[in-house]
Structure 1
């Protein structure tokens, strides 16, 4: 699943970030801190590669398929095609296993370290909260004293407080090297990678690649109830499993919050809706894409649980946060029982 739950959690946590504690120097304006119709687009087969050159094929796809075909013909997508084919040639695994193995490798090598980095940034920001609360009180007091001396109105006091508070918070983020935007780096890497691999599998499954023979390999490279990876899963087992996994990830995030705000509830419900919408979408794409989506979500679920492990957090030197516990999995189970069974 796309890391929407993680994004929402980061945004909600950091939206209430404050500032740090330090001696203030009075100034009239600032306080300083010392340091298409018919078949869906993804099922439409582009013209054979051999009929046109690469430049001509891009021109044709842009005119006939619109933005979707243009995106499917980008360099990043073709690199993912080559990566998948190279992995299959190197390992000799059947295609269904190759897709899962490649997904595990990419998620572990690329996104897991970024997930650790995201947790470190969030932990640092949360560690600033006591300092933030103290400094905010001091700043408010000095604003009130300055207001009496200068005769400021209530509106001017609020403006001066908010402006200086915002600037001091930025200085704190620079001091501790934990700007909240850094916590979103995982999304900006994982989302494009997810899209590119999905489109690469779509191209390979429909023969829209430099090696059309790969399409034939995919047609017999499935397993169990999905032997043909170029066709959608008619049993809906993969799509429904994908939806349930994504919903489980969303619920794990929601169980962390004891008192959810209206914004948090809105974001959680939005992600639940996306998880449900992904079920019919996964039922219309080639099974190769559905296998990738499901395996990616399962690995993401595993990584989310791993990042809650106290031992793993200590190993990665992730700062403690309010949601930390010595028994995170037992706490999750207890919270789920209390929420859904009582």
Structure 2
């Protein structure tokens, strides 16, 4: 057999060996990765472990680097809860519209000294108002009750993954290649703080127009945003892949929910006409109003006690 023929026979064998090495290497990498995720979820609560598994599945199925897998998972979760957010915004806007009527009922109850009969009647009126506007005092709290657990699951899940998974050390890009260490340039903490403050200005008071705690809530969130930079500067970069993505999503969501056409399409009540709520009415005094002072025309003078001259001037 010629040398060229022998080489042609060995060539497919060489390709097969190379393919086998590639498959074995990929299998080994997947095996190592699976060991990493098992180690991470073993120290997490069930809901946190669920988020970790979703991030891991996104990374394995799509082949994206870790930072993009985290961002894509964040977008997926925020998209899933979007219907509940829209429902909350609707309910909050409706609650803002009925607040003036609730204030009137509250004043009526105070004027009646909380008489049992009047109290029962006013409670009935309040129930009718809530039924008419299809809302209740607790629905506006859905956002806090929903976003809080999601944030905590991502926070603790990503922090544990950054500690336990060596593959995170090369899972970033640009200047944040190592997702397990803080950003020494402070770029990611700064971007997170800036996007959070923009989010506050866009939609922190969305649906809260006309409510007395509107300005207070916004100022509290502004203060939190300012403290965000120094408090998060030492967190691993993996966390900022979630925070920045979530803040950008909130900015887009807030801009859309402030758009009149988009709000009309979603049937969200318009509350832009509601300003700062007026103080509740008080019980008027039975004392007659003071008489208005009479000003004489130029060139005429008289004593304040001269009522006859005053009457002649008036007539």
Quick check: 294-303 or 265-274, which moved more?
A: 265-274
Kindly provide the CA deviation profile for residues 46-75 of structure 1, in whole angstroms up to 9, marking residues without a partner as x.
Answer: xxxx9xx99xx98xxxxxxxxxxxxx6211
Aligned residue in 2 for 1:217: 167
Aligned residue in 2 for 1:157: 112
Aligned residue in 1 for 2:301: none
Q: 1:110-129 residue pairs with structure 2 within 5 A?
A: 110=81, 112-128=82-98
Match of 1:92 among 63, 66, 80: 63
Query: SS of the counterpart of 1:307?
Result: helix
Contact 1:282–1:290, Cα closer than 8 Å, also in 2? no
Q: Which runs of 5+ in 1 are unaligned?
A: 1-49, 59-71, 144-154, 208-214, 325-342
Match of 1:288 among 238, 257, 267: 238
Query: Quick one: distance in 1 between partners of 2:195 and 2:245?
Result: 10
Q: 1:170-189 residue pairs with structure 2 within 5 A?
A: 170-189=127-146
Aligned residue in 2 for 1:241: 191
* Structure 1 position 206 matched with structure 2 position 163: yes
Q: CA deviation at 1:301?
A: 1.3
Q: 1:226 to 1:197 in 2, by over 3 A?
A: same
Query: Quick one: distance in 2 between partners of 1:286 and 1:202?
Result: 7
Query: Quick one: distance in 2 between partners of 1:248 and 1:277?
Result: 15
Contact 2:203–2:255, Cα closer than 8 Å, also in 1? no
Contact 2:96–2:211, Cα closer than 8 Å, also in 1? no
Aligned residue in 1 for 2:79: 108
Q: CA deviation at 1:80?
A: 0.9
* Structure 1 position 168 matched with structure 2 position 125: yes
- Runs of 4 or more above 6 Å deviation: 254-260
Query: Quick one: distance in 1 between partners of 2:123 and 2:146?
Result: 28
Q: CA deviation at 1:310?
A: 2.1
Query: SS of the counterpart of 2:138?
Result: helix
Q: 1:8-87 residue pairs with structure 2 within 5 A?
A: 73-87=44-58
Query: Quick one: distance in 1 between partners of 2:185 and 2:98?
Result: 51
Q: CA deviation at 1:178?
A: 0.6
Query: Quick one: distance in 2 between partners of 1:124 and 1:191?
Result: 23
Q: Which runs of 5+ in 2 are unaligned?
A: 1-34, 275-315
Query: Quick one: distance in 2 between partners of 1:314 and 1:259?
Result: 19
Q: CA deviation at 1:225?
A: 1.2
Root mean square deviation of aligned Cα: 3.4
Q: Which has the larger radius of gyration?
A: 2
Aligned residue in 2 for 1:272: 222
TM-score, with length taken from structure 2:
0.64
Q: CA deviation at 1:166?
A: 4.5
Q: CA deviation at 1:315?
A: 2.2
TM-score, with length taken from structure 1:
0.60
Q: 1:249 to 1:82 in 2, by over 3 A?
A: same
